[in-house]
Structure 1
Amino acid sequence: MDNRFCAFNDKRIFAAEVSDEYEWVGFSAPSYFSHVPPYVEECMKDVSYNEKQKVFLIAGCGGNRGLAIQDMRKHVHNSKKEVDLEYMVMLSGSYILSYGSFPMWYQKFFIKQSYKKIHKMALDIKNGRKRKPLGKGIFYKTKYEAAVQHSIANYAMIGKQFKVSNKCSACEACIKICPVGNISLTDGKITFGDHCNQCMGCIQWCQNHAIDYQGKAAKRKRYHHLDVKRQELFQR
């Protein structure tokens, strides 16, 4: 998909039409709290496709895709389009507010499996295959949906509660890595806005371990994808 499709600017999402030059249009998003992040929902609203374009969806998760695929599928259907292919790709979880990074052997295993899955997806797309729609994640429980929605309602404000210790060197790595422009340097201090998307990149990649939330991340091991280098993230 054209990387100009979704842009974040002053807390509003601006979407452009999908170019007719693309035969396939793909959406890949993580499952947070059993749903895709609100940012993804905004990006997928009111997208227009031509009648020949095909659509695939990918939900990434650390174990439970929840209703992430259904969230994305809903927006495709609202645009009068069907989804041709749906996938889940499982990786080592990275939500440091709940747990620290998993052992290296565990990470390597799931990265290897993810590459196999990506190869399979590429072949499906190349050969124009069709697959059955995915159901909800096996660990998703409807009885918890009210609590999930409560978390989502407070989703964007969590960054306002991040604390920056005196270990901070104002290197601006967190600013560069934030995908939604929620972090800034004000009077020499790191500050957070009110549209955090909880990717946890700022906490995970702070080389000084200066960012924390209610003491939850302080002693936990950080997660860095084994095939992603620090400099690559900051060259975006």
Structure 2
Amino acid sequence: MVFYFSGTGNSRWVARTVADSFNNKLVAMGDYFRAGAGEPSFSAKPDEKIGFVFPVHSWGIPPLVRNFIGKLLLNGYNGQLIYGIFTCGDECGNTRKMFLDLLAGKEWRCHHAYSITMPNSYICLPGFDVDPKEVELSKRESAKEFLPRPIRAIAEDSPMESYTKGSFTFLKSGLIYKMFCKYAIDARPYRVTDNCDSCGVCAKRCPTGNIALVDGKPVWGDNCTQCLACIHYCPSRAIEYGKATVNKGRYTY
């Protein structure tokens, strides 16, 4: 089975491609953080490959993914092959080490862990924006050419190294990541402009069901993951994050 988390679609595309290759079940992690959702509990078949696919957030693991893995019960786990694939705009920092440590804490072994470069989608801080169109298209094409390699390595359980760590990881995956998780995952700055036509796409796209329409307008709850699906999928460009996203691009896979 393939567990995935995705906001703008990069990780969902990777997860679906991998799941189709192995004829595996696709499981959205966000579904287990919706109101009334039960604990994630699954039975692992003896020869099953178990995958985790998710985006890198601020050079680390999204808190939702960390919480999901922490709660996850894999009944019948007995050393089956586990792998992780992390989508990132540029660098992953220490995401792989975080992932390996997280699995080790549950006495699970990670057999394969890779990163794959995808178009940028984080736009909520100064200096951050989506990629220019030509860069976006180039990254998507390169990803399509690259993904069969880790799929083959996982299928054959053969060695392969492909991970973009980057520089200053002690700072990016340390202090900056911790500050991001503590201060930047906040739904309060979201606002809707007069362009909103009450289509409800934002509520449908939110992976945790954190958005409700009140009098036809979106209202955010307290279960935001900062995935930005609501901003990027809005067909009317009616959602902004304070003033930080004004005049910036939008992206979905």
TM-score range, shorter chain: 0.7 to 0.9
Deviation readout 1:70-125 (Å, 9 max, x if unpaired): 22222221222211111000012111224333222211211121112210011112
- Check 1:165–1:13 CA distance in 2 against 1; reply closer, same or farther (3 A cut): farther
8 A contact 2:118–2:143 mirrored in 1 = yes
Q: CA deviation at 1:44?
A: 0.8
Which whole-Å CA distance do the structure 2 matches of 1:11 and 1:199 have between them? Answer: 21
- 2:104 corresponds to which of 77, 80, 103: 77
- Quickly say closer, same or farther: Cα 1:218–1:192, change in 2 above 3 A: same
2:66 to 41, 46, 56: 41
- Which letter maps to 1:120? R
User: Larger relative contact order (C-alpha < 8 A, sep ≥ 6)?
Assistant: 2
Alignment map for 1:55-66 (pairs within 5 Å): 55-66=82-93
CA RMSD for the aligned pairs?
Answer: 2.3
Cα distance in 2 between the residues matched to 1:92 and 1:131: 23
C-alpha distance in structure 1 between counterparts of 2:96 and 2:119, whole Å: 19
Structure 1 residues 126 and 196: alpha-carbon distance in aligned structure 2, compared to 1, 3 A threshold: same
Counterparts in 2 of 1:100 and 1:5: CA distance versus 1, 3 Å: closer
- Give the structure 1 partner of residue 159 of structure 2: 130
Quote the residue 1:101 is aligned against. 130
> Quick check: 1:5–1:15 contact (8 Å CA) kept in 2?
no
Letter of the structure 2 residue corresponding to residue 28 of structure 1: V
- Per-residue CA shift, 1:149-170, capped at 9, x if unaligned? 12211344x2222011121111
| 2: CA distance, partners of 1:191 / 1:204 | 16
CA contact (8 A) 1:64 1:137 kept: yes
Paired AA for residue 165 in structure 1 = T
User: Which whole-Å CA distance do the structure 2 matches of 1:109 and 1:13 have between them?
Assistant: 40
For residues 110-129 of structure 1, what are the structure 2 equivalents within 5 Å?
Answer: 110-129=139-158
Q: Deviations over 1:43-65 (max 9, x none)?
A: 11154352241011111100111
Q: Residues 79, 148 of structure 1: CA spacing in aligned structure 2 closer, same or farther, 3 A cutoff?
A: closer
Q: Take 2:106 and 2:88, find their aligned partners in 1: how far apart are those partners?
A: 26
Q: Kindly tell me: are residues 65 and 208 of structure 1, through their superposed partners in 2, closer, same or farther at Cα, counting changes over 3 Å?
A: same
**Percent of pairs with identical residues:** 21
The DSSP-based 3-state class of the residue aligned with 2:42 is: coil
Q: TM-score, normalization: structure 1?
A: 0.85
C-alpha distance in 2 between matches for 1:102 and 1:57 = 25
Number of residue equivalences = 223
- Contact 1:96/1:217 (CA < 8 Å) preserved in 2? yes
Q: CA deviation at 1:9?
A: 2.3
Matched, 1:211 2:236: no
